[in-house]
Structure 1
Amino acid sequence: MQPDSFIISMDDGADILVRHHPRAGATRLYISHGNGFAVDGYKVFWEPLLEQFDVVLFDMRNHGRNDPTGADGHTYQQMARDLTTVHKKVEARLGAASKAVGVFHSMTSRAAMKNAVELGSPYDALVLYDPPSVPPRGHALYEAMRGFELKLVQWASERPDRFTDPAELEAQYAAARASAKWLPQARADMARAVTRKAADGGYTLACARELEASIYLAALTLDLWPDAQSLGVPTKLIGADPQGNGGPPTGPANNALASEGGYDYVGVENVGHLLQIEQPETCRNILTDFVSSL
Structure 2
Amino acid sequence: MICDGMATRYSSTVDKWRVPAPTAILKAVMADATIITVRRHGNPNGPRMVFSHGCGLAADLYYPYWSLLADRFDLCIFDLRSHGWNQVSPIESLNIATLAADNQTIIEAISTNWGPKPCLGVFHSLSAVMALTHQRHKPDFTSLVLFDPGLKLPGGTTQHLDEVCQKHAKRARRRQRHFASRHELAEMLGQTPAYSLIPPKTLSLLADATLRPATGGGYELRCPPKQESQLVEWYFGFAMQASHMIDSLDIPIKAISSDPTIQSSFLPGLDLNTLARFNYDFIPGKTHFLQLEGPEECATLTIEFLERHHLA
Q: TM-score, normalised by structure 1?
A: 0.91
Report what 1:164 is aligned to. Answer: 180
Report what 1:147 is aligned to. Answer: 163
> What is the CA-CA distance between 1:230 and the residue it aligns to?
1.9
Report what 1:200 is aligned to. Answer: 216
Is the CA contact 1:247–1:271 (under 8 Å) kept in the aligned structure 2? no
Distance 2:203 2:184 in 1: 11
Distance 2:217 2:170 in 1: 28
User: Tell me, what secondary structure is at the counterpart of 2:141?
Assistant: coil
Distance 2:258 2:159 in 1: 18
Report what 1:113 is aligned to. Answer: 132
Cα RMSD between the aligned structures? 1.9
Query: CA offsets per residue over residues 127-162 of structure 1, 9 Å max, x none?
Result: 1000132469xx535444333222111111111100
| Aligned residue type for 1:101 | L
User: Tell me, what secondary structure is at the counterpart of 2:248?
Assistant: helix
Alignment partner of 1:285 out of 290, 295, 300: 300
Alignment partner of 1:231 out of 243, 249, 259: 249
Report what 2:83 is aligned to. Answer: 63
Report what 1:267 is aligned to. Answer: 282
Q: TM-score, normalised by structure 2?
A: 0.86
> What is the CA-CA distance between 1:219 and the residue it aligns to?
2.7
Report what 2:7 is aligned to. Answer: none
Distance 1:58 1:257 in 2: 32
Q: Is it true that 1:245 corresponds to 2:262 in the alignment?
A: yes
Is the CA contact 1:239–1:250 (under 8 Å) kept in the aligned structure 2? no
Alignment partner of 1:125 out of 127, 143, 149: 143
Cα 1:273/1:184, change in 2 over 3 Å: same
> What is the CA-CA distance between 1:247 and the residue it aligns to?
3.1
Distance 2:285 2:273 in 1: 19
Distance 1:39 1:24 in 2: 19
> What is the CA-CA distance between 1:229 and the residue it aligns to?
3.7
User: Tell me, what secondary structure is at the counterpart of 1:79?
Assistant: helix
Query: CA offsets per residue over residues 219-273 of structure 1, 9 Å max, x none?
Result: 33324132534233211111111x3232326223x254633x5111111111110
Query: CA offsets per residue over residues 5-60 of structure 1, 9 Å max, x none?
Result: 12110122111001112523311111110000001111111112111211111101
Report what 1:37 is aligned to. Answer: 57
Distance 2:145 2:234 in 1: 22
Report what 1:184 is aligned to. Answer: 200
| Aligned residue type for 1:210 | K
Distance 2:102 2:209 in 1: 21
**What is the aligned-residue identity percentage?**
26
Q: Is it true that 1:104 corresponds to 2:123 in the alignment?
A: yes
Report what 1:20 is aligned to. Answer: 40
Report what 1:90 is aligned to. Answer: 110
> What is the CA-CA distance between 1:190 and the residue it aligns to?
0.9
Distance 1:164 1:193 in 2: 16
Distance 2:157 2:54 in 1: 21
User: Tell me, what secondary structure is at the counterpart of 2:285?
Assistant: coil
| Aligned residue type for 2:222 | A
Residue correspondences, number? 287
User: Tell me, what secondary structure is at the counterpart of 2:123?
Assistant: strand
Distance 1:70 1:23 in 2: 35
| Aligned residue type for 2:126 | M
| Aligned residue type for 1:24 | P
Distance 2:193 2:99 in 1: 29
Cα 1:255/1:171, change in 2 over 3 Å: farther
Alignment partner of 2:236 out of 220, 232, 236: 220
